[in-house]
Structures are given as C-alpha cells and as structure tokens.
Amino acid sequence: MQKIYLIIGIVIIAAGMSSCKKWLDLQPQDGITKAEFWKTKEDVRAALMGIYSSLNEGGVEERIFIWGELRGDMVIPTSTASDDDRFVKNMNILSTNDISDWSALYGAINNCNLLIDFAKDARALDPTFTEDLYNSYLGEALTIRSLLYFYLVRTFRDIPLKLKGSYKDTDVQPTPQATAQQVIGQLISDLTTAQGLVPDYHEPPAQGNNVTESPVNKGRITKPGVTALLADVYLWNEEYDKAAAEADKILATNRYRLQGKATLSIFSSSTSETIFEISHKDSRESPMYALVINSKKPFAVDNVFVNADVFTPNLQGDLDARDSRGEQFLFASDGSIIKYGIENPSYYNFQVYRISDVMLIKAEAAAQLGRGAEALVILNDLRTARGALAATNREVDEADTDDIVRFVIEERARELAFEGKRWFDLLRLAKKDNYSNLDVLVDLVSRTADVSVKQSAINKIKDVNSHYLPVLETELFKDPTLKQNPFYTK
C-alpha cells in the first residue's frame, strides 16, 4: 500500500514540476485539479509521500551538498567539474552560475504549500481522517518547508517567502524577497507550531527496544526531527539559550545514541544515531554516487588539507592511530566520499540530523553562554567515542569562549564532513557578533583560491554581501520584483 501511495505522490509531484518554468517554478500543471484530489486521507498521504520523494528525486539533495560544501575547504572540483564549479572556488561567481539554481527547493516548497493549503478540505470530507493524522501530515509539511527555507536563507539571505501553494497557472504571482530576519522569524513560528503537531514516533519501537527504531521514524519527520531543526535555526540566529534548550529536549530522552566509532552502517541503514535522513531505501538510488564516488565524479575530498589539518595525524605516541571518521573509513585516498556508499547504484541515505550534530549544537550554544566546561565535556564524549586523535585535541581554557567555539567548529568538520554543513558552519562562526570572526573566511579563501586570483578573492570575501549567492539571472527575468544581491551588481 505504501508503494501505491508513493506512486500516486510521484505523479502529483511530476505534474507540479513539469509546468512551464516561471516565477520560481512554483506552479503545477493544470491537468490535476483541486476537484479531483484532496478528498480523502489517502489523497493527503499520497501528497505527503510525494513531498518526501521530491527530496530524493528532484535535485534537493545535490543542492544541499553543493551549497554546503563547494564554498568550504574540504571539497574541491575535479577535472570533470564544470567551469561554474571552478569559478566558485575563486570567488568568481556570476549571476549566470548554475550554483544559484534554487528551482529544486522551490518546487518541493510548493508541494508542501499545497498540502498545507488543501489537507483541511480532505479532513472536512473524510470522516475517517482523524485529527491526529491530519496534524501529523500538516506538521511534517511545515517542517520540510522550514528545512528547505533554512538552506535557502543561509545560501541567498534575502529570498522569496512563498507560503501559499500554486495549484494552477493563474495562482502564480510575483514574489518579492523577504529579509533574512523575516524568513528566520517565519521558520521559528512554523517549527514551534509543528512541534505540537507531529508525533514522537510514526511506528513505535519494538517492545523492550528503546534504541533501534523503524526506518519510518528516520525517513519521516518526528518531533525530535522538528526540535533538531529548531535548535539549528536558533543557533544560526545567535539565540544560544534557546538553541541549548531545544538540544536538551533531544539529549534528555536518551533515544538517540552514538554507536561508538564511526562506521558505514550509520549511513547505509537507519541506526540509533539518526534523527532524520533523506531515505533511499526501496526508493531512487542516491545521486551522491555520481557526484562524489564514481570515476567521473565532479567533486572530491581535498585530501591534502583534510588529512593534514582536519584529521591531523599523531606525530608522537601512537603513530598508527586513525580517527574512525577519516581516510580509509569514510573517505578514500582517491578523494571519493565513501560514506555515500561504494556500490553502483548506491542506496545510502543522506543524513540531515544525527545525534552527534545535536551534541555539537549544544556544545556551541553552551560555550556562547559562558558554560565552557559543559561544552568541553560534550566534545570529549564525542571525541572519545569516535577515536579522535591526540593531535586534533585543542588545549583550551574553559573560560575562553571564542577558543572553545572554534574547537567545536573543528570537531564539526570531522564529525559532519561532506554532509552539506561546512560552509554554513564557517559562515555562522564568521558572522557572529556582527562579524567578529571575519578572519575565518579570509583564511578560507587564502587557502582555496588560485594563486593568480588570491588577493582579489580576499578582497571580495571582506564584503559581507559576497557571502551569499546571487539570484540567478533567469529568475530576475521571470520575476521583476526580485532584486539582485548588491555584490553582484558592481
């Protein structure tokens, strides 16, 4: 039955995505009308399954990876990468660069909006559509929409905030940008609402087993998934007390636990570590194989930097020791990122939030609140479990907030390597307290830009507008209310 719903959902999504591409590609095709759908709980479930399908079939996964890694320092373009990809590394990004294509995310957002708009119609018509089930579906759509907008606002800053679905061509209206703070405010409001709507579990864990759960609870939004995202939003917004409080809600349950040393099983199957993942089990193969694993992969690990500066080897003591998250374990000497699988095709899941991510959110928030000792305990627990090397330990004073926060960012690089988080972590560190750590980004481009353009890249990164991508030129043409990031109008 689930496969039937999935097929129906995919049909709906395909109809929505095949319409003419204008105004952010938000409109669906008029072939499926409101009168023909949104009548039963099965219709709404099919639409919800379509939303999840749009995450792993519509290009969303690839955008998350590229936006979060290409502007960072752990991934490099290979000889098979496009010129657009190589331009990114040299801070030579134009408004025609494909990296600014946001259509996949806005297509998925529209699918969320349609469910939010019309699920209530099915609720009114179908007496078997219970309030709890309706609330769950609504909360899941709100959360996924928030997740997509969170990636967009961190990537572009001022973005169109579309909160109503486009069901037919005449629904499509010009959508001027909202400010970053308006977007963040909407996300906090929506996620706070969703926390009261979605269940703790979609399928309860087996009796007597409080650790391993059904994959359904990993590949669909549950209350801990909402809470992890909300904690991340608060951290980005420098509301550290609230970020810590949300992280504590998850940590206090003991529902999610580190497995010990990092293994491929964390990424190949649903484990006690995963809070929410984009699932590929019994679904489309992972697009990450083509991006980072096969012989023609356009992106690879910067092994020189990563092995020397992220997973620094011991120079004394146990010289043969290896961090379980490093080379030979989760990435290879040829630059392949094997945490996304080594088989072709690969069906490894894409991790969105794991318990280690929540631990590090809590550590960073605690450090910012002057609770350095608490942050260091969390870091030590994670490093011990993963077999981190003495060479990557940072000797810090528990009263030195900035030093501890930088230690957290370093540990996030090891723990969450190549999961679409690195650039956002560096940008969050750089921009805090009104860009008190701009040196982080200056150092980044001084290491990653070609020698011939290094000084130009450094000058560009000092302009805070350059930290956000341009609006794609074709989007500006389709919607005259959109305004270009001023950095790209010079």
What pLDDT does 7 receive?
41
Rounded to an integer, the average pLDDT of 282-303 is 92
Reported confidence tier of residue 169, pLDDT bands at 50, 70, 90? low
> Is the predicted pLDDT of residue 15 greater than 80, yes or no?
no
- Cα atoms in the Cβ-side hemisphere of radius 13 Å centred on 93: 27
Instruction: Give the model's pLDDT for residue 72.
Output: 98
With the C-alpha atoms ordered 172, 176, 177, 182, is the resulting torsion angle positive or negative? Answer: negative
Of the pLDDT bands very low, low, confident and very high (cuts 50, 70, 90), residue 331 is: very high
**Can you tell me the distance from the alpha carbon of 274 to that of 21, in angstroms, rounded to the nearest whole number?**
36
pLDDT of 204 reads 86
Quickly list DSSP for 223-277.
HHHHHHHHHHHHHHTT-HHHHHHHHHHHHTTT-S---SS--THHHHS--TTEEEE
Mean pLDDT of the chain: 91
Residue 199 has a pLDDT of 97
Q: From CA 151, how far away is CA 167, in angstroms rounded?
A: 24
pLDDT of residue 170: 59
User: Would you state the pLDDT for residue 214?
Assistant: 83
What pLDDT is stored for residue 33 in this prediction?
57
Per-residue pLDDT at 167: 77
* pLDDT above 80: residue 99: yes
Q: Give the pLDDT mean for 169-179.
A: 81
Region of poorest pLDDT, from 163-177, 380-394, 395-409, 431-445: 163-177
pLDDT at 5 over 80: no
Could you read off the pLDDT of 33-90 as tens digits, one per residue?
566 799 999 999 999 999 999 998 879 999 999 999 999 999 999 999 999 999 999 9
Q: What's the token pair of residue 426?
A: 């560096």
Mean pLDDT of 318-325: 92
User: Going along 324-444, which residue ranges are E strands?
Assistant: 350-354
Could you read off the pLDDT of 217-267 as tens digits, one per residue? 999 999 999 999 999 999 999 999 999 999 999 999 999 999 999 999 999
Q: In which element (H, E) is residue 160 found?
A: strand 159-160
Taking the domain 1-178+458-490, which CATH number applies? 1.25.40.890
Distance set, CA 296 to CA 60, 278, 336 (Å)? 21, 24, 11
CA dihedral 241, 154, 338, 268 (to 10 degrees): 60
Q: Given this model, what pLDDT does residue 17 score?
A: 42
pLDDT of residue 1: 37
Q: What is the pLDDT of residues 105-164, one digit of tens each?
A: 999 999 999 999 999 999 999 999 999 999 999 999 999 999 999 999 999 999 999 999
- For the cut 50, the answer to whether the pLDDT of residue 4 exceeds it is no
Does residue 404 have a pLDDT over 60? yes
Percent of the chain with pLDDT over 70: 90
pLDDT for the residue numbered 23: 36
pLDDT for 8 beyond 70: no
CA distance 108 to 52: 9
- pLDDT over 90, % of the chain: 83
| Whether pLDDT at 2 is above 50 | no
Q: What's the CA angle centered on 228, arms 231 and 412, to 5 degrees?
A: 80
Which one has a higher pLDDT value, 333 or 24? 333
Residue 364 and residue 376 in contact, taking contact as beta carbons nearer than 8 Å: no
Q: Is the pLDDT of residue 168 over 90?
A: no
- Dist. CA 302–CA 482, nearest whole Å: 36
pLDDT in tens, 381-392: 999 999 999 999
Amino acid occupying residue 44: V
Helix axes 180-195, 223-236, angle to 10 degrees: 150
Q: Does 21 have pLDDT greater than 50?
A: no
Whether the pLDDT of residue 213 is over 80: the answer is: no
The pTM score is 0.92
Q: What are 418-476's pLDDT values in tens digits?
A: 999 999 999 999 999 999 999 999 999 999 999 999 999 999 999 999 999 999 999 99
Distances (CA, A) of 255 to 230, 412, 441: 18, 21, 37
Cα four-point dihedral sign 75, 79, 84, 89: positive
Report phi then psi at 75, rounded to 5.
-125, 140
Q: Give the model's pLDDT for residue 171.
A: 66
